[in-house]
Amino acid sequence: MSWKFDYVIVGAGFAGSVLAERLATQLGKRCLIVEKRNHIGGNAYDRYDPAGVLIHDYGPHYFRTNSDRIIEYLSRFTEWQPAEYKILSWTDGKYWQFPINLNTYEQWVGHPATSAEMAAALAQWRIPIPNPQNSEEVIVSQVGTALYEKFFKNYTRKQWQHDPKDLDPSVCGRIPIRTNRDDRYLSEKFQALPQAGYTAMFHRMLHDPLIHILLKTDYRAVLPHLQFGHLIYTGPIDEYFDHCFGALPYRSLRFEPETLECEFYQPALQVNYPNDHAYTRIVELKHATRQRLPVTTIVREYPEAYGPGKEAYYPIPAPDAQALYRQYAERAATEKQVSFVGRLATYRYYNMDQVVGMALAEFDKLRNRQS
């Protein structure tokens, strides 16, 4: 038997779902999404656990963007619940305000201070490095060695199993450092969660008679039975090419949820543990969803090596991995009937909004190719 589609799309995450929605609704194309997991949404998937608490199964997903185009696009499928993502860091037996801001500085020096005083202190502590080349340099050039060692060095080693010196500046550089009292984890102008959750948003996005979804299926098992014009691939790029240039490195994670008989377990949405425990953070999403329940669910997140049976969660932003990725990217550019889109297919440490932007750009390219 052979099934006919205009597009076969591997993966039902943001990359695959945005493209399916655009191709079906704007160009009238018949799309088949093949997804190996038993649900849509990719890593942004969320669900109500047995206690009735909304949780993110694959780590906390804090939506944020500066792009009006992306807000406008996603708002067709969801209402939003504004969220201020507040995070603390636990070390030396107490909670610290994080990311580093004027409140953190006051805790550090032990007395009230002004922004000007903090800026003057940082100017003394920072190590002058005009063009930071790695994740250690990007932090010490802003706040000096002591704060770097307290909040960044060991967290980063635990998360990536790489020293910050061996990671791109963008890894630690994405954490803001402020001399005012703005203590939000993120700086983008729009910060919100889909009101009914990500999974509900994906259901609305994919609700079209031209979109067919095959769950619990590796695309390689069905490809020989399909006729189609173009393939959109959103899985790991080295897997697509049978690791022909060698395996790309990834970081994996283990998530350990626990439901507790109390309204809240911790004082903030997320607590980071740079220097204690094998886990990097504990997330209590209820702080952001504002669900009113007498119970709560927390999720501890343990970094793990990637290997057989493990999910590839993070591409590793380091020079040697990028060099290997470039070989795959060159090979991918020769595959004219295949688009490689998304975080794993382009091996980039991208946030959800950036992946939506990438998928919309790919749609524009595919549409132009038609005309």
At position 3, the amino acid (one-letter code) is W
**C-alpha pair distances (Å), 169 with each of 2, 140, 163:** 49, 11, 12
Element (H, E) at 125: helix 115-125
Pairing of strands 64-65, 190-194: antiparallel
- Interface mask (CB under 6 A) for ligand FAD, residues 310-329, using x and -? ---x----------------
Is residue 152 near ligand UDP by the rule CB under 6 A? yes
> Can you tell me the distance from the alpha carbon of 125 to that of 120, in angstroms, rounded to the nearest whole number?
9
Is residue 169 near ligand FAD by the rule CB under 6 A? no
Query: What ranges in 214-351 are assigned the alpha helix state H?
Result: 219-222, 237-240, 286-289, 319-333
Is residue 89 near ligand UDP by the rule CB under 6 A? yes
Q: Which of 355, 357, 362, 363 binds ligand FAD (CB under 6 A)?
A: 355
Q: Which of 9, 20, 24, 34 binds ligand FAD (CB under 6 A)?
A: 34
Q: C-beta of 349: minimal distance to ligand UDP in Å? A: 7
Pairing of strands 54-56, 94-98: unpaired
> Can you tell me the distance from the alpha carbon of 59 to that of 82, in angstroms, rounded to the nearest whole number?
19
Give 42 or 164: the residue with its C-beta nearer to ligand FAD: 42
Q: Compute CA 175 distance to the chain's CA centroid, rounded to the nearest angstrom.
A: 14
Residues numbered 186 to 245 that lie near ligand FAD (CB under 6 A) are 218-219, 234-235
- How many residues belong to the site for ligand UDP (CB under 6 A)? 13
- Of ligand UDP, ligand FAD, none, which one does residue 342 interact with (CB within 5 to 8 Å by kind)? ligand FAD
Determine the interface stretch with ligand UDP among 22-30, 149-157, 237-245, 320-328 (rule: CB under 6 A): 149-157
- Of ligand UDP, ligand FAD, none, which one does residue 12 interact with (CB within 5 to 8 Å by kind)? ligand FAD
Within 10 angstroms of residue 37's Cβ, the number of other Cβ atoms is 18
97: which residues sit within 8 A by CB, 6+ positions away? Answer: 88, 89, 103, 104, 107, 183
281: which residues sit within 8 A by CB, 6+ positions away? Answer: 60, 270, 271, 272, 273, 300, 301
**C-alpha pair distances (Å), 344 with each of 150, 160, 329, 355, 370:** 31, 16, 12, 10, 26
Q: Which of 249, 303, 315, 342 binds ligand FAD (CB under 6 A)?
A: 342
Give 65 or 272: the residue with its C-beta nearer to ligand UDP: 272
Give 105 or 340: the residue with its C-beta nearer to ligand FAD: 340
- Interface mask (CB under 6 A) for ligand UDP, residues 174-193, using x and -? xx------------------
Is residue 344 near ligand UDP by the rule CB under 6 A? no
Is residue 11 near ligand FAD by the rule CB under 6 A? yes
> What is the contact surface with ligand FAD in residues (CB under 6 A)?
10-16, 34-37, 42-44, 58-63, 218-219, 234-235, 253, 313, 342-344, 350-353, 355
